Structure 1
Amino acid sequence: MRPRVVSLVPSLTEAVAATAPGLLVGVTDWCTHPADLAAARIGGTKNPDVAAITALAPDLVIANEEENRAPDLAALRAAGLDVLVTEIRTLEQAFAELVRVLTVGCGLPRPRWLDEAEAAWAALPAPPGDPRPAVVPIWRRPWMVLGSDTFAGDLLARLGVRNVYADHAERYP
């Protein structure tokens, strides 16, 4: 039997949809890809409708420690739902978490697209010259920038960009 999955993370929604779209029974309002995804909308990443998710009776809820709020995840667990929470700070961790979500959580075989993605990153040549400095705004009201220990920061470094705030004490100052 195929599991019924609710995704609270747009990027993970895309990964599941690319691999086995029929598994997704619920996704956030921010899950816009693929555009034709046929799944119930269950609110936002920061304000999911716990009652609506519970009513869908999913076998698994996919979440992320950074994207989703701990009280919402606790409420889903208290409702008896299995919640798989990912943590992604580096490219290697992203690949490992995708494997965990897709193969362990969803019970799928490892998808070929994941092997192709890993191979593409492994084949990427070292960037030429000195890293280019950058400040990366990620939010406004209040303004926030990319800081230390983030997935985006890891990707930028691999592409030859030096995040000016990479050594900041906060992840998103």
Structure 2
Amino acid sequence: MKLLSVFLDSLRLPNKAAMKRINRLEMRYTILFLLILLFVVALPIEISLLLDDSYKESDIPQNIYIIQVLLFYPFLMLFLGLTGITVLAGLGVGVSTLIHRHLKFQFLWKMSAFALTKPILIFAVIDLLIGGHWIINLLILIFLFSIIYRMILHYPKKMKDVE
């Protein structure tokens, strides 16, 4: 039940009340939620890779290819997901400094992980319906940046800048 309320709050982002509820969550819920999101992205891609016969043109045996897709690909997705969230949080720290907000990296990391919900769901649906294209990816990335930027704007300016 808690996971459902976390999911709904992540869909409400950049709503300030949803941000406060998400910020109170323990990190284990953030990691679990992130794993589920990455699974949503990886599953359709893994299925298409398993159904694709193009590996037969190379010298890779079928069992090795299946092991690569089922074992190594999810770890690669997890690594890229964690790296991407870290980069987003770092960019968020830079933006928050530029617009004189006082936000910590840890907070922005958690918020970036939850801000991925809508863009990932949109990406998964569009990828299933019409396939991938760099313009669609760019639009989803801009949408993600706008969510993070609006979350940063919810926090007041630093005290010395207000005076």
TM-score w.r.t. length of structure 2: 0.21
Which structure is higher in RCO with an 8 Å CA cutoff and minimum separation 6? 2
Specify which structure has the higher proportion of strand. 1
TM-score w.r.t. length of structure 1: 0.20
Specify which structure has the higher proportion of helix. 2
